[in-house]
Amino acid sequence: MEYKNYFNAIGISDAETLKRLEEIKQEYFFGEDRVYFDAGDDMGYIMDTGNFDARTEGMSYGMMLCVQLDMKEQFDRIWKWSKTYMYMTEGFNEGFFAWSCQTDGTKNAMGPAPDGEEYYALALFFASKRWGDGEGIFNYSHEAKEILSAMIHKGSPERPGAPMFNNENHQILFTPGSPFTDPSYHLPHFYEFFAKWAYEEDRPFFEEAARISREYLVKACHPVTGFSSEYAEFDGSPLKMPLPWTKDRHDWFYSDSYRTAANISLDYLWNQKDVGQLKACENIQKFLIDDLRNNNFHIYEVDGTVAGPDALHPIGLMATIAETAIVTGINDLSKEWLSALYNTPLRKGERRYYDNCLYFFAFLALSGNYRKYE
């Protein structure tokens, strides 16, 4: 397939774009404000600088970035750290990864977050295609298949625990066995690959999951704003139930939610399939353009009502909306979003981790460098 540099539309040459991409890579992985850190001779981790821990979200993101950028050494370091400290070999969550660890490897929790497993699996498959399989934990394709097998077969008589997908409706869950989902965890473009590369008996499940997730995203995104909630019911509506472990709200358009439009955009880039979910990208560009111009993003209800003060991750929000130019194409509105992304530096300070992850992925996609390896 052809990978387009969308920054050409705002007068940025391919050479300038590649130079900027190299600067982003250096700052993210090696600079003073990096989020990647070596650990010993052969391991490394991505740190959530706002919470001073390593999370499967960031670790798996880091691996996807590495395989896209041909950084095999850092990919293997992050993967070995993940398998050494985060992977659980026994108990209810055997076969999954602890979602949060201290940077010395001590587990902060014994529960997993399914978006981490999703990204681990596809990053490993892409590594297998780009670099070939190695031995042990570096037999990338085998490791990916094992992750996917656990995600759908946990909870069977042979495998105690709970799955990461609802085996009746094929939707990814917020946590194993939970009765609700997270719209930003729905990755139909990943499931398309899983349907080709998982263990043969698991492929039909992921083929159906890809179809279901696209249809789900239509329902999860508000018809006017394009916003999805952080956590949601299986019908796409914002989560109604109270959560026993937190007093925070998760039924609004907040940090997790920012990824949904970016996921829709990357799915369209790779697969060119629309069942109605693409409309959200046009809506979100329009709805937040005044806030972009005023440099003042807020916390919002899914209907667009301002629900709180300044957004915690404004650069990440801006970057994911810029990425929707892949869907909407080039017009005056999308050019404003593209210009905002290109002219905004990576975030600095303690909250830089999440913003810069979303920024990096958006820049990769828009520059034509977030690619499928088959």
> Which residue numbers are catalytic?
57, 256
For residue 61, how many other CB atoms are within 10 A of its CB? 25
3-class secondary structure, 117: helix
Integer CA distances (angstroms), 235 to 232, 239, 260, 272, in order: 8, 10, 16, 24
For residue 164, how many other CB atoms are within 10 A of its CB? 29
For residue 131, how many other CB atoms are within 10 A of its CB? 16
How big is the chain, counted in residues? 374
Q: Return the biggest CA–CA distance within the chain.
A: 59
Single-letter residue type at 118: E
Instruction: Kindly give the interhelix angle for 352-366 and 332-343, rounded to the nearest 10 degrees.
Output: 130
Single-letter residue type at 253: F
Q: CA torsion sign, 174 to 235 to 160 to 138?
A: negative
Report which DSSP code applies to 82.
Answer: I
Closest CA to 286 of 316, 331, 251, 254: 331
For residue 72, how many other CB atoms are within 10 A of its CB? 14
Residue 203 in tokens: 């492929």
Q: How far apart are CA 57 and CA 251, in angstroms?
A: 20
Closest CA to 326 of 279, 281, 373, 280: 281
Q: By the 8 A CB rule, do 72 and 140 touch?
A: no
Closest CA to 96 of 106, 76, 75, 110: 110
Q: How far apart are CA 366 and CA 7, in angstroms?
A: 7
3-class secondary structure, 349: coil
